[in-house]
Amino acid sequence: MEKGVTVQQSNVVIQVFSEYLKQHGLRKTPERFAILEAAYAMNCHFTAEQLLTEMTENQRFHVSRATVYNTMDLLVEAKLLHKHRIGGGAQYEVSYNSDSHYHQICTNCGAVTEFHDVKLHKDLTTLKTRRFTAQSYSLYVYGLCSKCMSALRKKQKRLIDKDNGRKKN
């Protein structure tokens, strides 16, 4: 629990999960809390596989792949993690006490960045849905990151120059 979250936050999160497990008649196993701590120690977005590697490689705690997947589902249910389906599989993100932000995904290189928007946030929290009880939102903006955009511009420029050269000859 060194990286992303303070010790105080960590304790609260453990309490929240503990309460969730109690409410749902689930057992408080060391594996579940180890996964919770490992998840909250990750930075930004991470996959189930990355969390597993982090846990086993650093010899923090041995857990099986199946238990990681099971527990991640519980943590999503308990609103302690957000699940995003970006790229090949799923990516997770810490959600307790985190500010509401949105994701920009580059369709060229797959880079994911975050941004904030007050007006959008206001609209989303006051959104009127049809025959539906909203609980959470995911907004993804697809496009090109600045790197890929400038690479594309250069490529297009080269093509135009090449074409002009051809016309002259």
Q: Which does 66 bind (CB under 5 to 8 A by kind): its own copies, DNA, none?
A: DNA
* Measured CA distances, 144 to 66, 70, 113, 158 (Å): 36, 34, 11, 19
Considering only 70, 95, 100, 113, the residue that binds DNA (CB under 7 A) is 70
Helix (H) or strand (E) holding 51: helix 48-57
User: Toward its own copies, which CB reaches closer, 14 or 76?
Assistant: 76
C-alpha 42/C-alpha 44 separation (Å) is 7
Rounded to the nearest whole angstrom, what is the least distance from the CB of residue 144 to DNA in the complex? 19
Give, as one character, the DSSP assignment of residue 100. Answer: P
Tokens of 125: 């929290």
Ranges within 90-129 binding DNA (CB under 7 A): 90
Site string for DNA, 24-43 (x = CB under 7 A): -xxxxxxxx-----------
Chain residues binding its own copies by CB under 8 A are 85-86, 104, 106-107, 113, 115, 117, 119-120, 123-124, 127-146, 149
Q: Would you state the torsion angle of the CA atoms of residues 67, 77, 99, 127, taken in this order, to the nearest 10 degrees?
A: 150
Q: Which stretch binds DNA (CB under 7 A): 22-30, 124-132, 139-147, 160-168?
A: 22-30
138 binds, among DNA, its own copies, none (CB under 5 to 8 A by kind): its own copies
